[in-house]
Amino acid sequence: SSGNIIYVKYSTLARDVKVGERVLLDDGKLELEFTKRIDNSTVEAVVINGGYLSSNKGFNLPSSDMSVASLTPKDKKDLEFIMKHDFDWVALSFVREEKDIIELRDILTKNNCQAHIVAKIEKPQAVENIDAIIAATDAIMVARGDLGVEMPMEQVPMIQKRIVFKCIEASTPVIIATQMMESMITSPTPTRAEANDVANAVMDGADAVMLSAETSVGEYPLKAVQAVARILGSTELGWNVYNKFKKPDPTSLSFISDRICYASVSMSEGLSAKAIISMTQTGYTAYKIASGRPNCDIFIFTSNKKLLTRLSLVWNVRAFFYDKKTNTDETVRDVITVLKSKDLLKDGDVVINTAAMPVIENRKTNAIKISTVGE
């Protein structure tokens, strides 16, 4: 900005906005109202709520119909860099409908890029189209900063809970982001309200929580991460965090695999199992088991090296490389030996193994086995 002029990179601003509509700057800290269209590139606005404005801050048009695509020319240029490197995930901002995800996936596929997509939910249109977006994407991020600016902030808590619930039902990883520990940008300790916010994300069933300014520009990045980790660990001791699995749909083409995953979660509770152990090539079984939120470890073995890091986003999943093609009993012995060597299992632990039989054919998960380590 310069004097009484604010410059933005949104080239169609003057065409898209109408007199009387609002613009919000810096996550809603400043509010202006459009009063006049001067020409094709300039509009006049009056300040409703003023304040300090620095460079490179975001702006939102909550009541305007924006003509700009979710995947902007700058996004496409950034994608060129992303596709040249081995990224696991790529996040798309300001998703409005499923076709935004499809457009991005088409570009990734045409360039043989295996990165998976995170749809950032920040617009009212995305909330309206959330079911189709969840079906089209690989993961969801509830980006509450812009969402709470684009929509009344009092609606955001219930929107968050509804989206997390839908993601668990769809076995789609979901991230809660923005202002989780906002005070720790300048303070070495969080507020009690922030601690409750992080804990509530856990109780809702989120796969991950994300820090933003707290670690990118904050004065206490390490303390912020440590504080979040303590809150997560403490909350996960609670009784209402686990066992959220939806019963499989008998008409689904993957019903048998889904039923095996459901059974493994159900039995883990009744048996007080230490872990559910599974083999997967695509990650499907890992997503399904994790969506049940079992109160035990989830250990995933795969020969797909991309999954080893990608699955770190998924709730309570730890992945290990395993590429032997042998019979199921030998595979079970092998993976238990690996986990014992890493002190993740000990003699006497009850474990539940799921597998695809025969192992050598890479079929869908169709078998379940309960065993006691050391017997």
pLDDT tens-digit profile of 221-234? 999 999 999 999 99
Quickly tell me which residue has 């295996």 as its tokens: 114
Higher-scoring residue by pLDDT: 61, 128: 128
Lowest mean per-residue pLDDT among 47-56, 139-148, 172-181: 47-56
Domains and their CATH numbers in the chain: 13-60 (2.40.33.10), 73-235 (3.20.20.60), 255-372 (3.40.1380.20)
Bridge partners (DSSP) of residue 141 are: 120, 175
Peptide bond into 173 cis (omega under 30): no
Bridge partners (DSSP) of residue 33 are: 22, 46
Whole-angstrom CA distances from 36 to 39, 43, 136, 325, 372 are 9, 6, 40, 70, 74
Can you give the pLDDT at residue 68? 75
Angle at 330 between CA 327 and CA 336, to 5 degrees: 135
> Distance (Å, rounded) from C-alpha 43 to C-alpha 36?
6
Confidence of residue 15 (pLDDT cuts 50, 70, 90): confident
Q: What is the DSSP letter of 273?
A: -
List, in order, residues 6 or more apart from 119 with CB less than 8 Å away: 91, 92, 95, 100, 101, 126, 133, 134, 136, 137, 139, 140, 141
The mean pLDDT of 127-140, rounded to a whole number, is 98
Task: Write down how long the chain is.
Answer: 375
Is residue 54 scored above 90 in pLDDT? no
Can you give the pLDDT at residue 93? 92
Confidence of residue 244 (pLDDT cuts 50, 70, 90): confident
pLDDT tens-digit profile of 298-313? 999 999 999 999 999 9
Is residue 2 scored above 80 in pLDDT? no
Whole-angstrom CA distances from 126 to 28, 37, 96, 354 are 19, 29, 4, 36
The mean pLDDT of 149-172, rounded to a whole number, is 95
Higher-scoring residue by pLDDT: 251, 191: 191
The mean pLDDT of 252-258, rounded to a whole number, is 90
Higher-scoring residue by pLDDT: 38, 220: 220
CA dihedral 142→183→216→113, nearest 10 degrees, is -10
Q: Per DSSP, which regions of the chain are E strands?
A: 22-25, 30-39, 42-49, 59-60, 89-92, 116-121, 139-143, 174-177, 208-210, 275-279, 297-302, 317-321, 350-355, 367-372
Can you give the pLDDT at residue 185? 97
> Distance (Å, rounded) from C-alpha 21 to C-alpha 303?
54
> Distance (Å, rounded) from C-alpha 122 to C-alpha 253?
33
pLDDT tens-digit profile of 271-290? 999 999 999 989 999 999 99
Is residue 1 scored above 60 in pLDDT? no
> Distance (Å, rounded) from C-alpha 51 to C-alpha 57?
13
The whole-model pTM stands at 0.89
> Distance (Å, rounded) from C-alpha 22 to C-alpha 270?
55
The mean pLDDT of 367-373, rounded to a whole number, is 93
Whole-angstrom CA distances from 2 to 6, 26, 53, 55, 59 are 6, 16, 10, 10, 16
Q: What is the DSSP letter of 265?
A: H
The single-letter code of the amino acid at 281 is Q
pLDDT tens-digit profile of 199-212? 999 999 999 999 99
Burial class (CB in 10 A: 0-12, 13-18, 19+), 179: middle
